[in-house]
Amino acid sequence: MFSKDNLPHEALPLPDRIDLTDDEAEDAAEAFFDLMKMRHTVREFSDREVPQEIIEYAVATAGRAPSGANHQPWFFAAVQDPALKAQIRAEAEAEEEKFYDGGAGNEWLRALEPLGTDASKPHLEIAPWLNVVFAQRWGEFDDGTRFKNYYVPESVGIAAGFLIAALHNAGLSSLTHTPNPMKFLNNALDRPDSEKPVMILAVGHAAEDATVPAVAKMKKPLSEILKVY
């Protein structure tokens, strides 16, 4: 964390160490892969409630992500209130209408066709939680003095990945939603200008009749995403 105080470097012994044999490490890596390959983005959510404690643990996990200079330049707004979710849906769909009405361009819209998406986003109300991820472009001390944050997009992206993995580990489904622009979220959630909305993450249990696009199962093979040097 950044502070006005003088914080000299202090080296501490590694507080948490996981010592596994090579075989144990491979088993653990394979088990985590097996868990994560079961993660699917869904658009049909159940209205089954999700305890707030699960959301808090998931966000706390996201807060353990590495960040530039350890500034932790993120903020997570967890929205459960139905009226606020309805407001966010209405404002998001207003932007989506412009997007699908030609604002995105033909190439982008063609790329989305296999996913079956459109401007209607009922999941923003049905999902029991919306987690809105903000990137803190700069920080402020109590007296209003600004300080710079570093590697903000990279840091927030890593934290969002932690969050999605933590939610999946808890048996929950999630859907990333990125209407453009998203400034309306600052107003709806009373967040400062220093914070830029990055995504809305709808979170909950998948509906009994939930589906996924067939194309979503088409993942690049390891040979296309890895080269060992």
Q: Which domains does the chain have, with CATH numbers?
A: 49-206 (3.40.109.10)
pTM for this model (two decimals): 0.94
DSSP per-residue letters across 147-203: EE-BSHHHHHHHHHHHHHHHHHHTT-EEEEE--S--THHHHHHT--TTEEEEEEEEE
**In contact, 91 and 173? CB cutoff 8 Å:** no
40-49 exposure pattern, b = at least 16 Cβ within 10 A, e = fewer: bebbbbbeee
Which has the closest alpha carbon to 70: 166, 139, 161?
139
Model pLDDT for residues 27-75, shown as the tens digit of each residue:
999 999 999 999 999 999 999 999 999 999 999 999 999 999 999 999 9
SS3 label, residue 113: helix
| Per-residue model confidence (pLDDT) at position 147 | 93
Model pLDDT for residues 1-37, shown as the tens digit of each residue:
666 677 788 999 999 999 999 999 999 999 999 999 9
- For the chain, give the percent of residues with pLDDT over 90: 84
Number of residues written out for the chain: 229
Taken in order 162, 75, 85, 181, is the CA torsion positive or negative? negative
**In contact, 172 and 54? CB cutoff 8 Å:** yes
Model pLDDT for residues 64-85, shown as the tens digit of each residue:
999 999 999 999 999 999 999 9
Model pLDDT for residues 139-160, shown as the tens digit of each residue:
988 888 999 999 999 999 999 9
